[in-house]
Amino acid sequence: MNLDDTIAAIVTPLQPSGLGVIRVSGKQAVSIVEHLFKSSTGKLENTGSNELFHGWIHDDEKLIDRVLVIIMRSPRSYTTEDVVEIQCHGSPFIMRKILDLLMRQGARLAESGEFTQRAFLHGRIDLTQAEAVLDLVHASSELGSALAVQQLRGKLYNAIEDVRSQVVTTSSLVEASIDFPEEDIEFVHFDECIRQIKRACSDLKKMLVHANHGLRVREGISVALIGRPNVGKSSLLNRLLKDQRAIVTNVPGTTRDYIEESIQIKGIAFRLTDTAGIRNTKDLIESEGIRQSRNVLSRSDLILVIIDGGEKLNEEDLKLVRDVEKHKSIIVINKIDLMAGREPEWLSEFSGRDYISVSAKTAEGCDELESKLYEKATLDVSPHKDEIWITNRRQKQAAERALESLLKAIQGLEDSKGEEFVAEDLRTCLNALGDIVGQTTPDDLLGQIFSEFCIGK
């Protein structure tokens, strides 16, 4: 990647719409657009920042589209470079035509995430904010978007910097005791070092305490619907989605492959997976579907075990219930519309388990089921106003490495192992904290992170 290049990309979806936007960034951004733009209000080169111009994009004498052009001057732009955005009509043909003209004038097509990567490399944002941009683009729930906004505002960066400052202070004291051993500095500052490191540990633990929940909120809570054939899994999926997404018939084994769809419950995204009915079968295709169902089951955050309330409980039902963990499962007794208000005789078999009765046909009990799902997913956990959540695996693993190093440093001080060992543990911690915010993150990992962005962001 050459940061001296001027880059361009279409930043809105390539489908017919009222508005399309092409972004250009780099030293030559203004002059490149100037060659293609006709306006009665003056030259783009002579303007300041954050000015809007009306005119035409042209190819020599041929007019292409009437547009608005916005100029954002360096360093007060997203990338800290000169940035020009062209707002045109949202025709895919028109947008591609303008992009082609820009490249003919010397711009090159931006790589995935290159605008945000330039913002990061030029110090406009740190790596947690860059990742928050991606999270906000893909946000599928209120809580997910709120956590992304929190990181985009720099709250996680500031929290990590606070911890880093404490560790740097402690490290300077330890390093001083190594450089000037004759002054016995290690004895003077022993208690202060322990106090600073323990405070840093406490702050990291607060960020990590909800990390797993933060990951689930970011990615969506995965919920598997399992059960024997014809207990109403697909019907229940359709009811929760309020859409006929899954095929429903009376023929056992209709669902041969799993179907995944998303819903939002009280601001939380849930990924519901309808699986093939689990039973003993000699049908090769159905057997493969059942194998996939078990794979989905093993990686799900929550499991709905669907049981037909109008039939007798059998050994396959009981085995399904026994095989799922109590804390991550809800037993759903379906078809209560056929039960004439009676409870199944076998209900006592599920004593001590979370269960709820519903009718996928009439929607009775489905609101209660959604509430139970939300309760299970959140355990009444949501970020308080000043609480910082880690929301991705890379951040979590780096924070865990930092915490582990701090705990080793405390142990080293208490066991008088030597300041050199303590100093090394503190350096390891600082490197891990630097990984979170992008100060010490390897280039190959940075490339992987930004490759997940779309072209144009």
Domains annotated for the chain, with CATH where assigned, are 7-126 (3.30.1360.120), 132-210+387-438 (1.20.120.430), 221-378 (3.40.50.300)
Q: What is the 3-state secondary structure (H, E, C) of 364-429?
A: CCHHHHHHHHHHHHHCCCCCCCCCCCCCCHHHHHHHHHHHHHHHHHHHHHHCCCCHHHHHHHHHHH
Contacts with 375 (C-beta within 8 Å, 6 or more apart), sequence order: none
| pLDDT score of 201 | 94
Q: What percent of the chain has pLDDT over 90?
A: 37
* Mean pLDDT on 326-336: 86
User: What are the phi and psi torsion angles at 89 (to 5°)?
Assistant: -70, 145
Q: What is the pLDDT of residues 48-84, one digit of tens each?
A: 888 889 999 999 889 999 999 999 999 999 999 999 9
- Spatial separation of the C-alpha atoms in residues 248 and 232, rounded to whole Å: 8
Contacts with 131 (C-beta within 8 Å, 6 or more apart), sequence order: 151, 392, 394, 395, 449
Q: What is the pLDDT of residues 396-418, one digit of tens each?
A: 999 999 999 999 999 988 887 77
Is pLDDT of 424 > 70?
yes
Residue type, 427: R
Whether the Cβ atoms of residue 255 and residue 273 lie closer than 8 Å to each other: no
Contacts with 236 (C-beta within 8 Å, 6 or more apart), sequence order: 225, 304, 306, 332, 334, 358, 360, 366
**Sheet-wide strand order for 259-265:** 259-265, 268-274, 221-226, 302-308, 329-334, 355-357
**Sheet-wide strand order for 51-59:** 37-38, 51-59, 62-72, 83-90, 17-25, 7-10, 108-109
Write the burial class of residue 221 (CB in 10 Å: 0-12 exposed, 13-18 middle, 19+ buried). buried
- Spatial separation of the C-alpha atoms in residues 256 and 275, rounded to whole Å: 8
Confidence of residue 288 (pLDDT cuts 50, 70, 90): low
The top-scoring range by mean pLDDT among 196-205, 211-220, 235-244, 443-452 is: 196-205
* Mean pLDDT on 319-338: 83
Cα angle: 128, vertex 132, 137; to 5 degrees: 160
Nearest to 91 by CA among 73, 65, 68: 65
SS3 content of the chain, % helix, strand, coil (to 5): 50, 20, 35
First to last CA, the chain: 15
| pLDDT score of 198 | 92
- Spatial separation of the C-alpha atoms in residues 353 and 334, rounded to whole Å: 16
Is pLDDT of 446 > 60?
yes
CB atoms within 10 A of CB 389: 27
Pairing of strands 329-334, 302-308: parallel
Whether the Cβ atoms of residue 110 and residue 9 lie closer than 8 Å to each other: yes
Structural tokens at position 328: 């991550």
- As a whole number, the mean pLDDT across the chain is 84
Q: Which of 13-27, 142-156, 184-198, 429-443 has the lowest mean pLDDT?
A: 184-198
| pLDDT score of 282 | 53
Q: If residue 214 lies in a helix (H) or strand (E), which one and from where to where?
A: helix 211-219
| pLDDT score of 249 | 44
Structural tokens at position 99: 């992009």
Confidence of residue 268 (pLDDT cuts 50, 70, 90): confident
